[in-house]
Amino acid sequence: MAELKNGVHLLRKLNEIENLKESFTKVNEYENQADDIFDKAVAELFEKEKDPVQIIKIKEVYVD
């Protein structure tokens, strides 16, 4: 969250474009890591849980 806040702050300082690019690159890396964690959690959910209703409920918790 701090990196995103930093990037938004840097939008006002267009003369610091390299810092802005670096900040948004980090935000993108964090987003990719979060996507990987989510994908692994959903895969594990489908492997371990057999009740379709439970799968739906738990997956909704992951999404929110």
- DSSP assignment of 23-62: HHHHHHHHHHHHHHHHHHHHHHHHHH---HHHHHHHHHHH
DSSP label at 16? G
Q: Where are the domains of the chain?
A: 2-63
Distance CA 40, CA 56 (A): 16
1 pLDDT more than 80: no
pLDDT digits (tens, 9 = 90+) for 19-42: 888 988 999 999 999 999 999 999
8 pLDDT more than 90: no
pTM for this one?
0.71
Proportion of the chain above pLDDT 90, given as a percent: 59
What would the mean pLDDT of 13-19 be, rounded to a whole number?
Answer: 83
